Chain A
């Protein structure tokens, strides 16, 4: 297990260290692909691999411009998000219909069929709730609750102020909570 931070690896990769690139690639491979799968509608799922490859090509081509004082993950996700926006500009507003994909979960192997059905139902309810949110709110919720980014990092990716992110996230969660409460009633 390599203990070097992403930023140190990126610094080494900038200087041409191929081992550092390999570690970074392996570290983010599944996560990035899963992000594209979650972010794209079923209509665009065949483009996941293209977007995945394009992100790494852009990371490689722009690696010299990476600011070592900043964190790597938000920088890479900014590239990924720009690729989605750039290529799906016309249909971008319709993109985020989240689809349930059992392969995305990390702990699916030990789950029973009943657990999976419940999980599927919950996921569908959350997906339905997400479709009620605005595009930016949905993006913030995905980056925060799925990808695990903090508000500052999300602000870096989306070009928003920290306070705006927190405010939007609060509103989005409240909206989701109301939606789920209505379903329970």
Chain B
């Protein structure tokens, strides 16, 4: 039996075992994952921006937490956990959503200007200030919102897609739109904070468009590159 046969067979057998598993055991695994993702994030954000906390922060945190709960549920749903080129399972979507959620929380930490929040005195990252100044010089806050959305989402995609490995190879446009939608969904907590600010509200659509385009263009590029460059290499190697 070849390696791939063993892999697919054992992953399906594992899925069948998980289906028979006690629901309580599965719930415990889901809760553990949820705690591992959310406790550090909420802790760090609370430590950094506790003076800023208001009803919108609470709403934003609740949305973030609900999405993290959904991602943890999809991650541990009984299913074959195997990466096959072009085949996306709830496990992979769950993994990707967790990653996008972590990146969106990190984004707020390193660039709180996105939600018109003053940088935290505890975390004074100045990494993205030159970039922001450049965007501002191009066309003020509107340009800054669009290009910040574009840049951050492109960075998030650049980190996440190689992690998805073979599943992202030659991904079709329907899946690419799904991925972009998922990444934009993970930005929803930041969007809530932006909508709560009268000044940012008018430029909010630009930020969202930038985010969507950033993810879509980079993931499309990744998909094409892996299909055109990596696939022939694999063929030659085999």
Contact = CB atoms under 8 A, between A and B. Distances in A.
A54 B17 CA distance: 20
A74 B12 CA distance: 21
B87 to A, nearest CB: 5
Interface size class of chain B, counting residues whose CB lies under 8 Å from the partner chain = 20 to 34
Contacts of B5: 25, 29, 52
B16 A57 contact: no
Contact of B16 (A21, A46, A47, A54): A21
B210 interface: no
B25 interface: no
B contact face: mostly helix, strand, loop, or mixed: helix
A53 B8 contact: yes
A16 B20 contact: yes
B86 A87 contact: yes
B166 to A, nearest CB: 8
B15 A60 contact: yes
B9 interface: yes
A142 B84 CA distance: 27
A49 B4 contact: yes
A56 B1 contact: no
B39 interface: no
A67 interface: no
Interface of A: 16-18, 21-22, 25, 29, 45-47, 49-50, 52-54, 56-57, 60, 87
13 contacts: A16-B16, A16-B19, A21-B12, A45-B235, A46-B231, A46-B235, A50-B86, A52-B8, A53-B4, A53-B8, A53-B87, A54-B87, A87-B86
Interface of B: 1-2, 4-5, 7-9, 12-13, 15-17, 19-20, 80, 82, 84-87, 89, 231, 234-235, 238
